[in-house]
Amino acid sequence: MEISKNNTVISTKPQFDADHDEVSWEEEFQELEQTLHKSKDWHGLDLYFYQGFWYPSLVFKGVISSQKHFEALDSDIIVTSVPKCGTTWLKALTFSIVNRNKFTKQENPLLRSLPHRLVPFIEYNLSLNNPSPDLENSCLYKPRMFSTHIPYASLPPSIKESEAKIVYICRNPMDMFISLWFFTDKLRAKNVEPLPLDEAFEMFCKGIHAFGPYFDHVLGFWKASQENPSKILFLQYEDLKEDIVSQMKKLAMFLGFPFSEEEEKQGVVEEIAKTCSFGSLKELDVNKNGVSLLGFPNSTFFRKAEVGDWRNYLTPAMVERVKKLMQENLDNSGLTFKLC
């Protein structure tokens, strides 16, 4: 696969458009599944252990398909994260910053669309049911923006090899765990018993959760961002909550869409921050009553968005265990978390 200077993809791969190719792909995928270790996730569905991480059975096929067929452009923007670390918020911010001059505040597509529709997931929305999705028409606005929970080491090769920009967001592990526990419970089938907090916590500490282990996921992007800071911007949820304006300026500069002095004087940064805030997004009709592409309510993506909510649920022993895991995994990495 080659990418020209004008961002045109020149693919050296055979086109995936024949029944024979589809049958071969299905057989290849089924053979791969049979070789992998499996476990159960927090709401009873299968997880597959692949390339060092646990992938939900719901999207595993999309992960493999994207690795084989996703073709990035130099101008693409890829929003990445572990689940429940501020993905929805970062999508809204990224989309609004890049496209701020294409529509008025009243015409912002965020007012009528879930951020996940405007910045689609590669493994969920695009590659799950179509090995060769129409990427060019999958995004209404240019530059194209996609998102993924796939760990850095397993990203589609074209994302890493091209000049596409990667923005990663993470969150302190205790808040992430609590948010994920509530989220997965909402996705639980009615005939599946809820997983007690202590059991979910044990699985989390062992790295058994969607796209886990958590620390391996975070460190993969952290180390890559240290090696190539012009390609990967590493953000932390707590920093955005603490000083959204400066973090937005950093994001805009990294993406190549910096705010001008005039825009800053006019309060454009603060206006976008308000539009993309948790309170604003949660109260939109589309996010209160709409349904996601995966079939569950859009409201599932909006719970509290608080820093330090873990204090309401974790025991002192649990907190100490997470702190020990942080020390073991992050020692000498240069990465720290604010445990507010």
Beta sheet of 232-236, edge-to-edge order: 145-148, 77-81, 165-170, 232-236
Write the CB contacts of 126 (distance below 8 Å, at least 6 apart in sequence).
62, 66, 70, 120, 133, 135, 138, 146
- 37 included as an active-site residue: no
CA gap 287, 289 in Å, rounded: 6
Radius of gyration of the chain (CA): 20
What's the Cα-to-Cα distance from 192 to each of 43, 58, 195, rounded to whole Å? 7, 16, 9
308's tokens: 């330090």
Phi and psi, residue 35, nearest 5°: -95, -5
49's tokens: 């252990």
3-state secondary structure of 156: coil
Candidate list 43, 116, 149, 217, residue with the active-site label: 149
The total number of residues written for the chain in this structure: 340
Write the CB contacts of 119 (distance below 8 Å, at least 6 apart in sequence).
79, 91, 94, 95, 145, 146, 147
Write the CB contacts of 310 (distance below 8 Å, at least 6 apart in sequence).
172, 174, 175, 177, 178, 319
Q: What is the DSSP string of 241-290?
A: HH-HHHHHHHHHHHHT-PPPHHHHHTTHHHHHHHHTSHHHHHTSHHHHH-
| Cβ atoms of residues 154 and 67 within 8 Å | yes
* Region of residue 267 (left: phi > 0; alpha: psi -120 to 50; beta: else): left
Active site residues: 149
